[in-house]
Homo-oligomer: A and B are copies of this chain.
Amino acid sequence: MTTAYAEAQTTEKKQSLAIIDSDVHPYMENGLATLVPYMSTAWQKRIGSGLGGGHTVASQFHLPLDYLYINSSGGMRADTARPGMSPATDPAFTAAQLLDGAGIDRAILLAGHLLGLGAMPDPQVAATIASAYNDWMCERWLQFDQRYRGGLVIAPQDPELAVKEIDRMADRPGIVEIFMPLHEILMGEKHYYPIYEAAQRHGLPICVHPSGTENVYARAPRMAGTPTYYIEWHALLGQIHQANTASLLCHGVFERFPELKVVIAEGGIAWIAELAWKLDADWHGLRDEIPWVKRHPSDYLNENMRFTTQPFVEPPKREHLTSLMDMINAEKVLMFSSDYPHWNYNDPTNALAGLPEELQRRIMFDNPREFYGDRIN
């Protein structure tokens, strides 16, 4: 199967690529229950599978998500499934609607149900769920249509288990990056170095994405304060990406792992400019504190990090968009994403409207193509 799969990726197809979508969320048709057959019998027992329970909450457990915040317009595009199905649970429907419909040539899958996996208190449970998901994603999605590419999920809680999973899955057809759900520990810390070593060794970028658990759970990534409303919370989710970017740069992670690549998906983009300027300015005065950072922090950012576009900025004055793109070095660091099937989906036909055509092409195709390398072909 691997050979046939590789052969199907023809040179002709490569030349015609136009849009790479770096953030698409497949969902499991029965939530966590979908993964149970992909777990050992011992693990099925351990997670209480088969207890039933109906509405008895205490006999169930859930994947960590934003259960306490109410998105009163719903979290999903209502049209992303056939009647009676849940959004983005059918690879055929998604291929027709998103890939054919919007002209998307490669869609990188980031596990919709597992965004918050890093907040699970038990590292082994989290790792088991990640493994089961990866097998399910390969079987149900990546083998269905070669335009799908996968982020292999790891649980960040126990780096040793995460490295095992990376080694197990890295060479499966269609895998283009490691999707690491966010955890309470910032990304510059030593905790993650075994994961970064494995990612660099396999040539796989690490992708992070809002977890939907920020400041909700004890082991979740932190925000500044606990917001009251969904809108307030949602608008501030980028805080963790700002903190992680500063953490990666100040800990000198990209000196230690020069080939490591990091994708910040759905983390916002306008903040990049101010943070980079600030770090560069402070580095001049404070570099003795972090002597392992040899160059301007922004140098590493521009070389080793990329940022996905959705939800794209919408300044009331369109001319500000051009300035902003220049401030953040968009022609190099931005990569298009739609965030299908979420409620605030960005359509590729109009998401970047108003930007110069050449810049659109870089964001839609060249940047991700260069960053992901041959695996995206």
The residues of A with any CB-CB pair to B shorter than 8 Å are: 27-31, 45-48, 51, 53-76, 84-87, 89, 113, 119-123, 125, 212, 215-219, 226-229, 233, 342-343
Most buried by B among A51, A67, A233: A67
Q: Are A121 and B69 closer than 8 Å at their CB atoms? A: yes
Enumerate chain B residues within 8 angstroms of A66, measured Cβ to Cβ: 58, 61
Q: Are A29 and B48 closer than 8 Å at their CB atoms? A: no
* Majority SS at the chain A contact face: loop
- C-alpha gap A316/B31 in the complex (Å): 43
> Smallest Cβ distance from A167 to chain B, in angstroms?
24
- C-alpha gap A376/B252 in the complex (Å): 66
Enumerate chain B residues within 8 angstroms of A74, measured Cβ to Cβ: 48, 51, 53, 56, 58-59
Q: Are A46 and B72 closer than 8 Å at their CB atoms? A: yes
- C-alpha gap A219/B53 in the complex (Å): 27
Q: Are B65 and A57 closer than 8 Å at their CB atoms? A: yes
Enumerate chain B residues within 8 angstroms of A76, measured Cβ to Cβ: 53, 56, 58-59
> Smallest Cβ distance from A30 to chain B, in angstroms?
6
- Known contacts A31-B57, A53-B75, A62-B62; can you find 19 more A-B pairs with CB under 8 A? A46-B72, A47-B70, A48-B73, A53-B76, A55-B86, A55-B89, A56-B76, A58-B65, A58-B66, A58-B71, A58-B74, A58-B342, A62-B68, A68-B120, A68-B217, A70-B125, A215-B218, A217-B217, A217-B218
Enumerate chain B residues within 8 angstroms of A58, measured Cβ to Cβ: 65-66, 71, 74-76, 212, 342-343
- C-alpha gap A66/B59 in the complex (Å): 10
Name 19 interchain pairs, CB-CB below 8 A, sorted by A: A31-B57, A45-B72, A48-B70, A51-B73, A55-B89, A56-B74, A57-B65, A57-B75, A58-B65, A58-B71, A59-B71, A59-B74, A59-B76, A62-B68, A64-B68, A68-B119, A68-B217, A121-B226, A218-B218
- C-alpha gap A68/B56 in the complex (Å): 15
Q: Are A122 and B67 closer than 8 Å at their CB atoms? A: no
Q: How many copies does the complex hold?
A: 2
Enumerate chain B residues within 8 angstroms of A68, measured Cβ to Cβ: 61-62, 64, 119-121, 217
> Smallest Cβ distance from A14 to chain B, in angstroms?
35
Picked from B72, B89, B219, the residue with its CB within 8 Å of the CB of A226 is: B219
Q: Are A48 and B71 closer than 8 Å at their CB atoms? A: yes
Enumerate chain B residues within 8 angstroms of A57, measured Cβ to Cβ: 31, 63, 65, 67, 75, 113
Enumerate chain B residues within 8 angstroms of A123, measured Cβ to Cβ: 228
Q: Are A56 and B75 closer than 8 Å at their CB atoms? A: yes
- C-alpha gap A84/B53 in the complex (Å): 10
> Smallest Cβ distance from A185 to chain B, in angstroms?
12
